[in-house]
Amino acid sequence: MRGKGAMGRMVRSFLQSLLKLANSVIGLAGVGMILYSLWMLRVWYKEVQSYWGAGPDSPLPWFIYTILGLGVSLSMITCSGHIAAETANVHCLSCYMVLLFSLVVLESAVTADVFLNSDWEEDFPMDKTGRFNELKNFVRTNFEFCKWIALVVVAAQASSILLAMVLRALGSYRGSYYDSDDDFINARLPLIRNQVQPTPYIGEARPHLY
């Protein structure tokens, strides 16, 4: 039983390490999107001098804010994934899987719209900052590079969901002090068997009368 318990701990630790590794790839993508959006904001602020001095007719950089929001969302999901992988808690793993699955569904919907709809650009509002067109031109020019980056991120997301499902199926870890259920029960038995010993009665000494 001790060998089986040690093997179970090794398998669980290995799965937790794999989940952290796959989750780190998602985190790197989120950090990259945040840095890219901050760079675009800096360039845009220089073009309009300042945000408050741009006037009411200044274009709203919806594309920049969208990239920033996606990057922050990926970073938050990464943090929750690391917490879930470290604790192997069933509830944390469930929340992590729901968040990541929702993100994958959103990405799939956008990808399907781009590839299946020839007029997909009309589904997005006009970006007067020009950053959206710059990104499209960059993707078209470096399509192979962008394709492999996207495949790596999607593979990391799918692997994270699969590993989280396996860890959730294994259940929460009860601790590293017990190698098996028998050791866990035997360690508790002395607490049950302990009984309060009655205090021996000592009679009160009385003085002798002479």
- The verdict on residue 193 lying in a domain is no
pLDDT, mean over the chain? 78
DSSP for 75-133 reads HHHHHHHHHHHHH--HHHHHHHHHHHHHHHHHHHHHHHHHHH-TTGGGGS---TTSHHH
Q: Is residue 196 part of a domain?
A: no
Tokens representing 44 are 């845009």
Structural domain including 91 reads 16-174
Asked if the structure places residue 57 within a domain, the reply is yes
Report which of residues 182 and 18 the model is more confident about.
18
**Position 185 in a domain:** no
Question: Does some domain include residue 11?
Answer: no
Domain assignment present for 72: yes
Percent of the chain with pLDDT over 90: 32
Q: What is the reported pLDDT for 177?
A: 41
Distances, alpha carbon 110 to alpha carbons 17, 74, 105, 163, 168, in Å: 31, 16, 9, 25, 29
- For the stretch 142-201, pLDDT in tens is 888 888 998 999 999 999 999 999 998 887 655 444 444 444 444 444 544 555 555 555
pLDDT score recorded for residue 199: 56
pLDDT at 13 over 90: no
Q: Count Cβ atoms within 10 A of the Cβ of residue 88 and give its class: 0-12 exposed, 13-18 middle, 19 or more buried.
A: buried
Amino acid at the residue 198: P
Domain annotation covers residue 165: yes
146 lies in a domain?
A: yes
Find the distance separating the first CA and the last CA of the chain, reported in whole Å.
73
Cβ(26)–Cβ(74) below 8 Å: yes
Query: d(Cα 186, Cα 78) in Å, to the nearest integer?
Result: 40
Give the chain's domain count: 1
Overall average pLDDT of the 75-87 stretch: 91
pLDDT at 98: 93
pLDDT tens-digit readout, 110-147: 888 888 877 787 777 777 777 888 888 888 888 888 88
